[in-house]
Amino acid sequence: MNKQQIGVVGAGTMGQGIAQVLITNGFDVQLFDVAESALERARGAIGNGLEKLVSKQRLSGAEQQAALQRLSTLTALDGLAGCRVIIEAAPENPELKEQLFRDLSALAPNAILASNTSSLSLTRLAAVCDSPERVVGMHFFNPVPVLKLVEIIRAEQTSDATVAHIESLTQSLGKTAVAVADMPGFAVNRLLVPMINEAAFLLQEGAATAEDIDTAMKLGAAHPMGPLALGDLIGLDVCLAIMEVLFEGFGDPKYRPCPLLRRMVSAGYLGRKSGRGFHCYD
Ligand code: CAA
pLDDT of residue 282: 83
Is residue 254 in contact with ligand 1, taking CB distance under 6 Å? no
Q: Let me know: does 59 contact 50? Beta carbons within 8 Å.
A: yes
Closest to 113 (Cα-Cα) out of 148, 81, 145, 73? 81
Does 220 map to a domain? yes
User: In this structure, is residue 124 part of a structural domain?
Assistant: yes
Q: Is the pLDDT of residue 16 over 70?
A: yes
Is position 189 annotated as part of the catalytic site?
A: yes
The per-residue pLDDT for 2 is 59
Could you tell me if 233 and 114 lie in one domain?
Answer: no
- Give the domain-ending residue among 148, 181, 214: 181
In angstroms, the CA 59 to CA 52 distance is 9
Q: Catalytic residue among 105, 115, 116, 118, which?
A: 118
For the chain, percent of residues with pLDDT exceeding 90: 97
Which residues form the domain of 80?
A: 5-181
Cα dihedral across residues 217, 218, 219, 220: positive or negative: positive
Is residue 278 assigned to a domain? no
Q: 150, 181, 212: which is the final residue of a domain? A: 181
Does ligand 1 have an atom closer than 6 angstroms to the CB of 234?
Answer: yes
Domain check: are 9 and 145 in the same one? yes
Helix (H, G, I), strand (E, B) or coil at 280: strand
To the nearest 10°, report the CA torsion of 211, 212, 213, 218. 90
The answer, yes or no, to whether any atom of ligand 1 lies below 6 A from the CB of 76, is: no
Residue 139 within a domain: yes
Please indicate whether residue 189, judged by its CB atom, sits closer than 6 Å to ligand 1: yes
Tell whether 210 and 128 lie within a shared domain: no
pLDDT digits (tens, 9 = 90+) for 248-282: 999 999 999 999 999 999 999 999 999 999 999 98
Is pLDDT above 80 for 1? no
Please choose from 46, 146, 149, 217 the residue to mutate so as to test ligand 1's pocket, defined by most ligand atoms within 8 A of CB. Answer: 146
Residues 31 and 54 in one domain: yes
Mean pLDDT, residues 8-22 taken together: 97
Quick one: 196 and 172 in the same domain?
Answer: no
Average pLDDT taken over every residue of the chain: 96
- Final residue of a structural domain among 123, 153, 181: 181
pTM (whole model) above 0.85: yes
**Contact 141 CB / ligand 1 (< 6 Å):** yes
Q: Which of 116, 119, 189, 197 is labelled catalytic? A: 189
The verdict on residue 279 lying in a domain is: no
pLDDT tens string 200-215: 999 999 999 999 999 9
Judgement on whether residues 199 and 84 belong to the same structural domain of the protein? no
pLDDT tens, position by position, 118-140: 989 999 999 999 999 999 999 99
Over residues 65-95, the pLDDT tens digits come to 999 999 999 999 999 999 999 999 999 899 9
Tell me, what's the pLDDT at 119? 85
Short-list 159, 140, 157, CA closest to 10: 140
Task: Confirm whether 274 is a catalytic residue.
Answer: no
In this predicted model, what pLDDT tens digit does every residue of 232-254 receive, in sequence order?
999 999 999 999 999 999 999 99
| 8 Å CB contact between 82 and 4 | no
Active-site residue identified among 88, 105, 139, 197: 139
User: For the chain, how many structural domains are there in total?
Assistant: 2
Helices (H), 36-146: 36-55, 61-69, 94-107, 122-127
Q: Are residues 143 and 195 in the same domain?
A: no
The CATH number given to whatever domain includes residue 219 is 1.10.1040.10
